[in-house]
Structure 1
Amino acid sequence: MFVTVLFALLFYAATAIFLAGIGMRIARYARTPAPLKIPTTPAPTTRGGVVLRMVTEVVLFNSLFKANKWIWIFGIVFHVALALVLLRHLRYFLDPVPAWVVMIQPFGKYAAFAMVLGLAGLWARRVFVERIRYISSPSDHLMLALLLGIGLTGLAMTYLWHVDITAVKLFFTGLMRFDFNPLPAHPMLLLHLLLVAGLMIIFPFSKLLHAPGVFFSPTRNQVDNPREKRHLTNVKWMVRSEKPAASADQ
């Protein structure tokens, strides 16, 4: 029971920090003025074109594809696989489980391998590419280690040390009703959940915020119309008035 209560409180705290942290960051991004018209050219000249550009950036990583094909491959493999894995995990929170979630279970199961492969490639880039290694900070390696640990422990539970997934589902569905159901005291499961909670807590304060941040990037979300329309910031600038200095001949 101690383990159940401990992890229940941990996930309540992690969820609160995750949601509040992301909410505050998004509000901060929205309030930050964009004083210059700086879309990366060639840029769309209509609002519809900007929407299309954002879709290709978010879904296809268009600018990364143009910059570096190898990084794009590892990046797209990791993100697509991660999306499938997350969608597969909806079965632990929904009752009844929608038919489409049931249908993607085999794809999500094997997508975990692709997720780990993509992460390994992205981490190898930070280790072996000199110019990337130079600008990489310990937090960059920590994020990759957390994600890789989550993927590896998940694979271990799927293929090596099986866990009572029915009990796991009862635990998480119970949390949503503030009803504590016993969590299996499986070492690999506890490590997996501990890493997930750690990632949730760190996420709002890390570089992983590029996920929502890309929508507020002025180089991507601006229309290229500086000649047709005057660009104004969305905040009032405070101008400090100062008394002119006396001239030397006074």
Structure 2
Amino acid sequence: MAFLTNFYVFLFYFAALVLVTGLIFKIAQYTMTPAPLKIPTTPAPTTTHGVVLRMTREVVLFESLFRGNKWTWIFGWMFHFGLLLVTLRHLRYFMEPVWFPIQLVQPFGIYGGMAMIVGLGGLWARRFLVDRVRYISSPSDHLILALLILIGCSGLLMKFVFHTDVVEIKAFFLGLYSYDIQPLPADPLLLLHLFLVAVLMIVFPYSKLLHAPGLFFSPTRNQADNPREVRHLAPWAKQLEQK
């Protein structure tokens, strides 16, 4: 028991370190990447206010995906919205007392887990059934989808079939914050679920899942279509003009 607890303590500290440092490095890299040209995907807004509205629609509604492929949009939106509900539901394990909005979302998080798995199943089937998507799919794409589905399935199994002590789980994670290590239940399904989550945290900053923060740095989305009104100069071009 002590060995398992210590192993998972180390695993989650390590996973959190890799996740945070990896995201900081990648976001800094995105920030410093030159965008020398005005390349917004048209039709595009011509004002900053319009760009904000466009990004909001893209993040919340997946607007461009909806226009491109309705089936992919349905499964993609199901997965992402389900993942949001599941994440909000799991916040109860990391706070005491639990905020009232998090209490309200608890029953919806269960349905979110189901929607998440259905959405992932549709996205994975697309990589086998659509020729052009199958052609560009790499082993890492299949592994990430399998990892996410296993996380969702193991979580639902613990909810409906193999129950575990959620009080001890919460004590374990709260103890990680204060370095007051509490024993972790030795349920095999729980250990598998937590191991898969830690693996996801480790690979997240180095996988295609990084499109989550990367979307905000996409010049085709975050630029206004105003090249005639506002001259666009990259930092290196400004330096040349000053010479």
TM-score range, shorter chain: over 0.9
CA-CA distance at 1:200 after TM superposition: 0.3
Alignment map for 1:38-49 (pairs within 5 Å): 38-49=39-50
Give the AA of the match of 1:226: P
CA offsets 1:108-134 (integer angstroms, 9 cap, x no match)? 012111110000000000111110000
Give the AA of the match of 1:102: Q
Q: State the Cα RMSD in Å.
A: 1.2
Give the corresponding residue for 1:64.
65
The 1-side partners of 2:192 and 2:58 are apart by: 34
Give the corresponding residue for 2:52.
51
Aligned-residue sequence identity (percent) comes to 61
Give the corresponding residue for 1:78.
79
Give unmatched runs, 5+ long, in structure 1: 240-250
The 2-side partners of 1:105 and 1:49 are apart by: 35
The 1-side partners of 2:198 and 2:167 are apart by: 20
CA-CA distance at 1:92 after TM superposition: 0.3
The 2-side partners of 1:184 and 1:236 are apart by: 59
The 2-side partners of 1:91 and 1:236 are apart by: 50
Give the corresponding residue for 2:220.
219
- Identify which range, 158-167 or 106-115, moves more after superposition: 106-115
Alignment map for 1:189-228 (pairs within 5 Å): 189-228=190-229
The 1-side partners of 2:35 and 2:102 are apart by: 41
CA-CA distance at 1:179 after TM superposition: 1.3
Task: Give the match's secondary structure for 1:104.
Answer: helix
Alignment map for 1:162-201 (pairs within 5 Å): 162-201=163-202
TM-score under structure 1 length normalisation: 0.94
CA offsets 1:178-237 (integer angstroms, 9 cap, x no match)? 111000000000000000000000000000000000000000000101111111113469
The 1-side partners of 2:143 and 2:199 are apart by: 11
Alignment map for 1:111-150 (pairs within 5 Å): 111-150=112-151
Give the AA of the match of 2:60: V
Task: Give the match's secondary structure for 1:161.
Answer: coil
Give the AA of the match of 2:208: K
Give the AA of the match of 1:234: P
Give unmatched runs, 5+ long, in structure 2: none
Give the corresponding residue for 1:18.
19
TM-score under structure 2 length normalisation: 0.96
Give the corresponding residue for 1:88.
89
The 2-side partners of 1:196 and 1:236 are apart by: 44
Give the corresponding residue for 2:110.
109
CA-CA distance at 1:103 after TM superposition: 1.0
Give the AA of the match of 1:132: V
Task: Give the match's secondary structure for 2:178.
Answer: coil
Rate the CA distance shift 1:189–1:236 in 2: closer, same or farther, 3 A. Answer: farther
CA-CA distance at 1:57 after TM superposition: 0.4
Give the AA of the match of 2:26: R
Give the corresponding residue for 2:29.
28
Aligned residue pairs total 239
The 2-side partners of 1:34 and 1:237 are apart by: 13
